[in-house]
Structures are given as C-alpha cells and as structure tokens.
Amino acid sequence: MVISGHLSRQHTDPPIKIIYMRLLLRTAVAGVLVAATILIIAAPAQASAGHFTKSTQWSGGYVGEFTVHNHTDSPMNGWVVRFCLPSGTRILNGWNIQLTQIGDCYTFRNYPWNSTLPAGGAVSFGFVASGTGDPIDCTVNGERCDGLPAGSDLQPPPRRTTCTSSGTPA
C-alpha cells in the first residue's frame, strides 16, 4: 500500500509481552546456571576414603589390609580410621598403625612417619583378625569409608554401613 509516495510497513517489533517473556526466560536460565555452579563449587569431592581388602583368609581368620586415599589437591596431615567388627571377630595385631580398641570398635591412627599423605596419595596398614567378620561403620577422618557424604540421599541410609572386602558398602 502506498501512502503519499511512501511504502507503509506494518509494525514488526514484537509486542511488549513477548519481550518481557524472553527477558524473564533468560533471567530464569541465568539464575539456574548460577545456582548449579554454586552447588557444584559447594560440594567438594570427598577428601578421604578407605578401601578394605582381605589379602589372606583361612577358616579362623584373615589378614586385612586397609588403604587410606587423599582425594584432594593438597597434602593431608594425619588420618584416623575407625570401624567396628561383628561379635566373634577381633583384631589380634596390626602394622603401620597405632591401634586402640573399645569393645568391638577399633581406632587406627597414623604414626608420625606415615602421617602426611601427598595430594592424590595413599597409605596402607594391615592387621590380623580372628573370626571372619568384615568391618562395619567404617570412617576415615570422620567421613564414610565409601566416599559418600554422611546422610547421602543417593541410596536409602542403611542401618549399619559395612565395608566389604571390595571396599563398597554392603
């Protein structure tokens, strides 16, 4: 349509409502990205974890080996492993650790010479146990041995966390 020599154009700008909705959508997406970034930063990797294996086993006992892992980018100064053994299983002796016992529960502390774990490093200790029970309620520096955060929602909380010979909860 020609009006006094000029072409008439229909209004091509989107209505204000569409502009507002686009702005709102972009703001929401940006907010979600910021929140996700904060959650990722706020949830650090598990600093330490433990792995238990039975290196030798016989009808009346076994040799247990335990490895403490430092999953951080900096040295870890000192470590403490705690776990309990089921009734009928007890530790007779150990090596590379300072061992204390209260009832069926044991605490393993580093010696001064094996206290520092480098970033990404690990240290091992061992023990001889009578009986065949695996460690339960295992922690390294107060964190679960399996590396999951305490109270993790990844699975229903077990009544007792068991460290099996493969190092995973039973």
Q: Which amino acid is present at 140?
A: V
Residue 122 burial by CB count (10 A; 0-12/13-18/19+): exposed, middle or buried? middle
Specify the higher pLDDT residue, 87 or 167: 87
Q: How sure is the predictor about 16, in pLDDT bands with cuts at 50, 70 and 90? A: confident
Q: In angstroms, how far apart are the furthest CA atoms of the chain? A: 107
DSSP one-letter code for 169: B
> Above 90 in pLDDT, residue 80?
yes
Specify the higher pLDDT residue, 153 or 43: 153
The predicted structure's pLDDT at residue 30? 59
pTM for the predicted model, two decimal places: 0.62
Distance of CA 161 to the CA centre of its chain: 14
d(CA 151, CA 48): 16
Q: For the segment 86-95, what is each residue's pLDDT rounded down to a tens digit?
A: 999 999 999 9
- Architecture (CATH level 2) of domain 48-144: Sandwich (2.60)
Domains of the chain, residue spans: 11-42, 48-144
Among 11-20, 42-51, 57-66, 132-141, the minimum mean pLDDT is found in 42-51
